[in-house]
């Protein structure tokens, strides 16, 4: 069978990398920020400073991650408006999403600050760790409106087929954070509050630059007349809220599985939880490599759907999936050949090295199991079909992850990784089947008839 001409066209492959590579590159700066945080706090001489920052940052990151639907829904809706050539749709999506982000940011301020003692107490750390964690959160939570608006701005720019601007925003934010970290903690002696203040100012700095980047594009849109009335149309607001609700449920289920791995690992002992922590770093590396292509397929699928371009839709899926599979294969080979060496570089504790090495085969297989759900998540985000994403996740979690763990409990740590493999494979299988059904019927493109 001859290879289709479009698959041999370098311009189509370069279009994928124009969107994917900036996001992969910007992802690399995130772990660097964590290293700088650890370095500056690690020089304060007491372990509870580092523990307080870790607990506080974990709480804040969890809250912001669960609200990541703001970026995803904005990308899909904007990409479809871009593909349809609808300037009104591009502007209206941005305005509604920013309004929702500001509202949710204010809600976090109103809810988290009064509940802060109870939330910190759940961490179960020492009094010193809890005290410094509360210090961190009490400062950092004030960045919520800016951080959530930044999610919207990044999603909107990506939906406009611009991956360089989100990359600049992420790199700028992380660089500002690193510089202020060093100044506030080591220079001014602000300790934990200095780390939180650095992140706070970095978020607002990124927001200022992000609004400037957005304003440059908005100057060319002459659709301001009647905009206020359009923004409050209930049908459009209901669609946005429903989309965000379903993505939130999907994200909450995913976070539940990762939390279960950590908590259940802790029950199995210190060696088990430490080995899991080492291997989860590998899983993070996989996400850094594959996320760029997931972002690219979101933008390209949304644009194709806006244009009602079925061929473009198929090309976007096949091209991104092909490159993502190559990246996944590269990860698998790297873990198979060098995983043992990576483990010994992360930890020098013999018992942890031995346990992590026993679980290494799961990580060797994980890239090829996970690549499908990473990419297909992007397809469904671009198609703004969050209901299917939600249902796929619910099936994978409650018919895959937890049953497999329960049946394999006698395996110890291996039961947790078998459950994670079942989760990734289950998501990929269900999303793949749904994608094939919807594309075959024309419903992925919005042309077929939806079931009653």
The secondary structure of residue 400, as a DSSP letter, is: I
Burial of residue 61, with CB atoms counted within 10 A of its CB: 0-12 exposed, 13-18 middle, 19 or more buried: exposed
Residue 229: pLDDT band (50, 70, 90) is low
Give the model confidence (pLDDT) of 385-406 as tens digits: 999 999 999 999 999 999 999 9
Tokens 């009064």 belong to which residue? 114
Residue 243: pLDDT band (50, 70, 90) is very high
Burial 425-438 (b: 16+ CB within 10 A, else e): bbbbbbbbebbeeb
Nearest to 133 by CA among 144, 145, 147, 117: 117
In the chain, the N- to C-terminal Cα span, in Å, equals 39
DSSP string, 46-79: -HHHHHHHHHHHHHHHHHHHHTTHHHHHHHHHHH
Residue 451: pLDDT band (50, 70, 90) is very low
Give the model confidence (pLDDT) of 410-435 as tens digits: 999 999 999 999 999 999 999 999 99
Burial of residue 259, with CB atoms counted within 10 A of its CB: 0-12 exposed, 13-18 middle, 19 or more buried: exposed
Give the model confidence (pLDDT) of 163-199 as tens digits: 889 888 888 888 898 889 889 888 887 888 888 898 8
Token pair for residue 299? 């933008």
Mean pLDDT value across residues 290-311:
92
Per the CB < 8 A criterion, the answer to whether 70 and 102 are in contact is no
21 pLDDT higher than 50? yes
CA distance 135 to 195: 10
Mean pLDDT value across residues 118-132:
73
DSSP string, 114-136: HHHHHHHHTT---HHHHHHHHHH
Residue-level pLDDT at 135: 85
Token pair for residue 259? 């939390």
Local structure of 67: helix, strand or coil: coil
Residue-level pLDDT at 224: 60
Tokens 């982000």 belong to which residue? 101
Give the model confidence (pLDDT) of 312-336 as tens digits: 999 999 999 999 999 999 999 999 9
Residue-level pLDDT at 452: 40
Mean pLDDT value across residues 39-44:
66
The secondary structure of residue 409, as a DSSP letter, is: G
Residue-level pLDDT at 420: 96
Per the CB < 8 A criterion, the answer to whether 7 and 311 are in contact is no
Mean pLDDT value across residues 100-127:
84
Angle separating helix axes 164-181 and 191-218, nearest 10 degrees: 160
């Amino acid at each position: 069978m001859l290879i289709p001409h479009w698959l041999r066209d370098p311009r189509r492959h370069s279009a994928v990398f124009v969107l994917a590579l900036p996001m992969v590159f910007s992802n690399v700066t995130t772990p660097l920020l964590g290293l700088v945080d650890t370095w500056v706090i690690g020089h304060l001489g007491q372990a509870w400073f580092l523990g307080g920052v870790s607990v506080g940052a974990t709480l804040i990151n969890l809250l912001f991650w669960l609200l990541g639907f703001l970026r995803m829904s904005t990308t899909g809706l904007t990409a479809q408006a871009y593909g349809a050539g609808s300037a009104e749709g591009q502007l209206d999506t941005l305005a509604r999403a920013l309004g929702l982000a500001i509202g949710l940011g204010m809600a976090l301020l109103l809810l988290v600050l009064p509940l802060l003692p109870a939330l910190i107490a759940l961490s179960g750390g020492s009094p010193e760790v809890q005290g410094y964690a509360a210090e961190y959160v009490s400062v950092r939570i004030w960045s919520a409106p800016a951080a959530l608006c930044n999610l919207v701005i990044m999603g909107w720019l990506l939906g406009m087929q611009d991956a360089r601007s989100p990359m600049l925003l992420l790199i700028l934010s992380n660089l500002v954070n690193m510089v202020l970290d060093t100044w506030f903690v080591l220079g001014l002696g602000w300790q934990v509050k200095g780390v939180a203040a650095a992140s706070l100012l970095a978020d607002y700095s990124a927001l200022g630059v992000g609004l400037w980047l957005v304003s440059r594009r908005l100057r060319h849109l002459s659709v301001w007349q009647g905009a206020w009335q359009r923004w409050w149309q209930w049908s459009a607001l209901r669609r946005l809220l429903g989309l965000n609700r379903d993505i939130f449920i999907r994200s909450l289920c995913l976070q539940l599985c990762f939390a279960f791995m950590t908590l259940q690992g802790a029950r199995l002992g210190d060696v088990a939880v430490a080995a899991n922590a080492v291997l989860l770093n590998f899983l993070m590396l996989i996400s850094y490599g594959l996320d760029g292509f997931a972002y690219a397929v979101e933008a390209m699928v949304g644009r194709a759907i806006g244009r009602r371009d079925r061929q473009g839709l198929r090309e976007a899926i096949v091209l991104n999936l092909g490159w993502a599979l190559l990246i996944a294969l590269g990860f698998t080979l790297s873990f198979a050949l060098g995983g043992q060496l990576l483990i010994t570089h992360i930890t020098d504790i013999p018992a942890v090295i031995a346990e992590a090495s026993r679980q290494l085969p799961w990580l060797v297989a994980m890239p090829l199991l996970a690549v499908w759900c990473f990419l297909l998540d992007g397809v469904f985000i671009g198609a703004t079909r969050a209901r299917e994403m939600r249902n796929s996740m619910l099936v994978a979690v409650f018919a895959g992850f937890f049953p497999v763990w329960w049946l394999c409990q006698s395996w110890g740590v291996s039961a947790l990784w078998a459950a994670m493999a079942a989760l990734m494979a289950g998501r990929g299988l269900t999303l793949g089947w749904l994608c094939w059904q919807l594309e075959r019927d024309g419903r992925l493109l919005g042309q077929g008839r939806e079931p009653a």
